[in-house]
Amino acid sequence: MKQKLKKITGAKHALAVSNGSAAIMAALAASGIGTGDEVICPPFTYIATIEAVLMLGGLPVFAEIDETLCLSAAGIEKAITPKTKAVCLVHMCGGNADMDGLMAVVKKHNLILVEDAGQAFAASYKGTATGLFGQAGAYSFDFFKIATAGEGGIFVTNDEATYKLADSFCDHGHDHIGNNRGMENHPVIGFNYRISELHAAVGAAQTRKVPYIRENNLRIKKQMQQVLSKVEGVSFAKLGDDNGDSGTFLNILMPDTETAKRTVDEMNAAGVGGFNYWFTNMYHFINQWEHIKNLKTASKLAIQVLGAPQDYNNLDIPKTQEVVGRLISFGIRCTWTNEEVNALAEKIAACATKAMKPVNA
């Protein structure tokens, strides 16, 4: 599984683990993120990103995203404090962030970059795979991703020392030297984030199909965009690099939140499925993260002892609210026929047109 992923991404080191959440945890831990470290995170991500920071004792600092659906360079710059140690960038909805702008800020402030590319395996920016810009990166192979292992994840890095640390961290600290597991040394304290061989076998078979899936997804996405771009007011999420899209999502931006909500209502009424309206989604957007905002935990975490670095209930993130409010994402299936794609695109276009009317009237 990891060999096949290395071939696609060009990563020097990869480690298959139990899931994408474990992979991002390993990426943060092996990059040295721990107790009391402020980590700049997006308020629009799968919740695992934030959980991983918190479980390691880190303190999430939420910053603004932009139309790439990822943290923006300006957003990061504004959120930096003397305690900022790292940025945990998330490449959302199959796309890629504006890496040139972002890397300039990361370098200027001497920050550690960790990339959660959980949704962006097979995406890239100017020829470099998402996940490989910082010290370490992570991909998810759960049932919803471009390649699935049933459950699985992959940690990647180009740095050997970071890889060795992750390799031990994900297997109870074992150094994996020699051929007698019971006699191995333990350079660090770790935990069990191993993937099972059964899951890895499925992951390997699925990873082989990724170039084919991506090619078809991109063709389908283009076809749908052609139909939808005829609807006045409809636009699409931006990509840091148009050539590096993984093609897993069609990300539609409506003119405003109210129109997006009406479009969702129209699509529900018309029986159109397969889309996410993240603005009201319980797992992907901070507006619904009551347990995180109010630090509800099973046992005491570092953040409760050290204090949250921001007032999570009163964040100043207007750009993020605007972008996520306007966003409707469709998961693309590479098996759709031309007829199915056109029929779906026409249905979405009709719903969007209808939803737009009260604004134009």
Ligand X SMILES: Cc1ncc(COP(=O)(O)O)c(C=O)c1O
| CB closer to ligand X, 22 vs 220 | 22
154 near ligand X, judged by CB under 6 A: no
329 near ligand X, judged by CB under 6 A: no
The residues, any chain, with a CB within 8 Å of residue 110's CB and separated by 6 or more, are none
246-275 residues near ligand X, rule: CB under 6 A: none
129 near ligand X, judged by CB under 6 A: no
Chain-centre distance of CA 145, in angstroms?
Answer: 11
276 near ligand X, judged by CB under 6 A: no
| CB closer to ligand X, 134 vs 355 | 134
203 near ligand X, judged by CB under 6 A: no
29-58 residues near ligand X, rule: CB under 6 A: 45-46, 48-49
Nearest distance, CB of residue 119 and ligand X, angstroms: 4
| CB closer to ligand X, 142 vs 159 | 142
Tell me which of 19, 68, 96, 246 binds ligand X, using CB under 6 A. Answer: 19
Would you tell me how many other CB atoms lie within 10 Å of the CB of residue 242? 9
Tell me which of 68, 84, 124, 140 binds ligand X, using CB under 6 A. Answer: 140
Nearest distance, CB of residue 281 and ligand X, angstroms: 11
97-126 residues near ligand X, rule: CB under 6 A: 116, 118-119
**Side-by-side strand order, sheet with 249-253:** 235-236, 249-253, 327-331, 275-276
Would you tell me how many other CB atoms lie within 10 Å of the CB of residue 184? 17
146 near ligand X, judged by CB under 6 A: no
Tell me which of 4, 9, 20, 96 binds ligand X, using CB under 6 A. Answer: 20
Nearest distance, CB of residue 11 and ligand X, angstroms: 17
| CB closer to ligand X, 45 vs 287 | 45
94 near ligand X, judged by CB under 6 A: no
The residues, any chain, with a CB within 8 Å of residue 50's CB and separated by 6 or more, are 41, 60, 289, 292
- Strand-pair category, 84-90 with 38-41: parallel
Q: Which residues bind ligand X (CB under 6 A)?
A: 19-21, 24, 45-46, 48-49, 90, 116, 118-119, 140, 142, 144, 153
